[in-house]
Structure 1
């Protein structure tokens, strides 16, 4: 399991980029501007070259009441707790030895964002057709359906 811990230092404002590429590298890049230097043209179009390929970017904003978070898994552990003990039919608790230990790692927030950039080949991306854009919109809709109370419950009705 993972637990998010609020960072004592302020998180950095950033803009995540979704690239149409598969990279077999996981780590820092010494000279970032050599490999990634997005530009905005006079007519407000985003474009960049990545490994010789011309990419066009479309910025998608998160809804006003959402904040994106960039998280980093740490080596720190939350103190170990026992999972809920199961009771037998006679309502007797099982031995502590049989209860399972749950290991929880801490995650720290290192950045936050309110928009992200989707890059693609060819012209600008149509948000209604792009897989990533549709997935984000569907996830936001699902999240709102789970966390917003129906109007009937807000009015105090009981069915």
Structure 2
């Protein structure tokens, strides 16, 4: 059976290496989508949590607009690559050509890579630690389910 064409292509920048970053999933709505430049430590300065609750997992603590936030670091599963990408438009040509079979797949330009994500919660991590958070469940559960669904059974069962 022929392999289907991808519906999405990722393009690395040929000019420079892709920078590493750590995405932060905040429990609030921010009306900004893009880079903030160099972060000002007065506004965002996450540090290891000083809580003594006996948690063995790495927790991070920070304040955002006066509210205390606690973060849980989630590493990406083995074999997965996290990218921050933006849509890129196809190069424009001077020729007026009508392509009847235009490519139907999109292209994303990779801006940064990551191997972990920090999921933040207000005041306590109970919702994050109990896997009530959709992002935590996606990383911890659904990636494994997707792998099982798309794997081939070697045993003939």
TM-score, normalised by the number of residues in structure 2 = 0.70
Out of 46-55 and 33-42, give the one that drifted further: 33-42
Q: Provide the C-alpha distance between the structure 2 equivalents of 1:101 and 1:67, rounded to a whole number of angstroms.
A: 29
Matching residue of 2:3: none
1:7 paired with 2:10, answer no
Out of 72, 76, 88, which is 2:86 matched to? Answer: 72
Cα pair distance change 1:138/1:122, threshold 3 Å: same
SS at match of 2:90: strand
CA shift, 1:4, in A, is 1.5
Name the CA distance, whole Å, in 2 between partners of 1:141 and 1:133: 13
For 1:21 and 1:28, the matched residues in 2 are separated by 17
Q: Which runs of 5+ in 2 are unaligned?
A: 1-6, 52-57
Offset of 1:109 from its aligned partner?
Answer: 1.4
Q: How does 1:82-121 map to 2 (within 5 A)?
A: 101-121=102-122
2:77–2:139 contact (8 Å) kept in structure 1: no
Could you tell me how far 1:7 is from its partner in structure 2? 2.6
Report which of the two has the higher share of helix: 1
Q: 1:134 aligns with which of 118, 128, 137?
A: 137
**Alignment RMSD (CA, Å):** 2.9
Superposed CA offset, 1:52-77 (max 9, x none): 11000001111122221111212335
In the other structure, the counterpart of 2:55 is none
Bigger strand share: 1
- Residue matched to 2:31: 24
